[in-house]
Amino acid sequence: MQVVSGIQPTGNLHLGNYLGAIRNWVKMQDDIGDDGQCLFFLADLHAISQPHDPAELKRTTLEMTAALVACGVDPSRSILFNQAQVPAHAELQWLLSGTARMGWLNRMTQWKDKAGKNREGQSIALFTYPVLQAADVLLYQATHVPVGEDQKQHLELARDIAQKFNNDFASEDAPIFTLPDPYIPPEAARIMSLRDGSAKMSKSDPSEMSRINLTDDADTIMKKVKKAKTDPEPLPSELEGLEDRPEALNLVGIYAALAGQEKSQVVSDFGGQGFGAFKPALGELLVESFAPITERFRELMQDREALDAILAQGAAKAREKSTPTLDAAYKALGLVRG
């Protein structure tokens, strides 16, 4: 098993990132034992695809490193690094760019959403972003990629690129790239905004009230949950009763994911009660779940040198791991290197 995944170090780590991805990274790391290796990285090269402030990117890269370690990513067992320290990511992206097709990239929903009506004004990096993402995982022969639902299409593209590259440039019995599988447990694959049950919870949402951040204190968490959009009906006792109630379903889903219960169990426990009772219970569960992580995050942020050292050590290991595949890709393309 080669487990590989990344997160953009922009903004704060929020509940959607945590439940949709990071919690699964930690579970996979804890279960993998001698059966393989986990590599987790800060996608800082991806972060420059949109307007950004360099000083802020530097700061948030360290903050996200601390957040991941606070969530349980263990740099002594997993390889934790930032892309910018491993040039093989950018190199492989270019090598794959001869294989990826404009039509494939044009179909990416994230590109369409982020570019909106102003495609001509977007950076080339935003358009070719999924090719870099393919390089991220193919470089390490990833077998499993734990992500939220919104990244599924990018991973399907990574498979298409790998397949075409193997077909065009490798023999059938010695493929260059492994086809990666997305790993998306259904429980928290898509956590929605607290303000709108039809939009995913996201760092780019202008409203702070739409998401819960790892760095929020207990009062802020309680306030955000209490103000979360809901409807006037009490909770049903059966899951079917949540159809067409996206905001209520989202809150029940968050409760279930944090409590390690089925959603049906949550509605059976809270059925008949209004949000006046359910929201404080959810808020407390959130505070309880995040408190130890937040405390650890604050401690880690006290020692920036230690965070730099974690990334430097992770990058050295990642550079070593990436070399055979990068070399094989250059060779397969007929490129002669010194």
Q: Which residues are catalytic?
A: 114, 200, 203
Distance CA 324, CA 133 (A): 19
Element (H or E) spanning 145, and its range? Answer: strand 144-146
Q: Of 16, 175, 236, 314, which lies in the binding site for ligand TYM, with binding defined by CB under 6 A?
A: 16
Q: Is residue 75 part of the contact set for ligand TYM (CB under 6 A)? A: no
Footprint (CB under 6 A) of ligand TYM, residues 229-248: none
Region from 170-178, 195-203, 294-302, 315-323 binding ligand TYM, contact rule CB under 6 A: 195-203
| CB distance 67 to 73 below 8 Å | no
Query: In angstroms, how far apart are the furthest CA atoms of the chain?
Result: 71
Q: Of 2, 78, 133, 322, which lies in the binding site for ligand TYM, with binding defined by CB under 6 A?
A: 133
Q: Of 2, 3, 6, 270, which lies in the binding site for ligand TYM, with binding defined by CB under 6 A?
A: 6
Region from 13-21, 245-253, 266-274, 324-332 binding ligand TYM, contact rule CB under 6 A: 13-21
Instruction: Quote the tokens at residue 26.
Output: 């930690």
Looking at residue 186, what DSSP letter applies?
G
Q: Of 150, 205, 216, 247, which lies in the binding site for ligand TYM, with binding defined by CB under 6 A?
A: 150
Distance CA 64, CA 18 (A): 12
Q: Is residue 151 part of the contact set for ligand TYM (CB under 6 A)? A: yes
Q: How wide is the angle at C-alpha 45 spanned by C-alphas 103 and 161, nearest 5°? A: 30
Q: What is the x/- site pattern for ligand TYM, positions 30-59, by CB under 6 A?
A: -------------x--x-------------
Nearer to ligand TYM, 201 or 236 (CB): 201
Nearer to ligand TYM, 3 or 236 (CB): 3
Q: Is residue 329 part of the contact set for ligand TYM (CB under 6 A)? A: no
Nearer to ligand TYM, 236 or 314 (CB): 314
Q: Please, how many CA atoms are within 13 Å of residue 239, restricted to the half-sphere of its CB?
A: 9
Distance CA 268, CA 129 (A): 43
Q: Is residue 21 part of the contact set for ligand TYM (CB under 6 A)? A: yes
Nearer to ligand TYM, 78 or 236 (CB): 78
Neighbours of 241 (CB within 10 A): 16
Q: Of 147, 161, 300, 332, which lies in the binding site for ligand TYM, with binding defined by CB under 6 A?
A: 147
Q: Of 190, 229, 263, 304, which lies in the binding site for ligand TYM, with binding defined by CB under 6 A?
A: 190
CB of 122 to ligand TYM, least distance (A): 16
Nearer to ligand TYM, 89 or 222 (CB): 89
Element (H or E) spanning 37, and its range? Answer: strand 37-42
Instruction: Quote the tokens at residue 82.
Output: 């930032």
Looking at residue 20, what DSSP letter applies?
I
Alpha helices in the chain (DSSP H): 15-17, 23-32, 44-47, 54-71, 88-97, 102-106, 109-115, 124-138, 152-169, 218-227, 246-259, 263-270, 275-301, 304-332
Q: Is residue 286 part of the contact set for ligand TYM (CB under 6 A)? A: no
* Contacting residues toward ligand TYM, per CB under 6 A: 5-8, 16-17, 20-21, 43, 46, 133, 136-137, 145, 147-148, 150-151, 190-191, 200-202
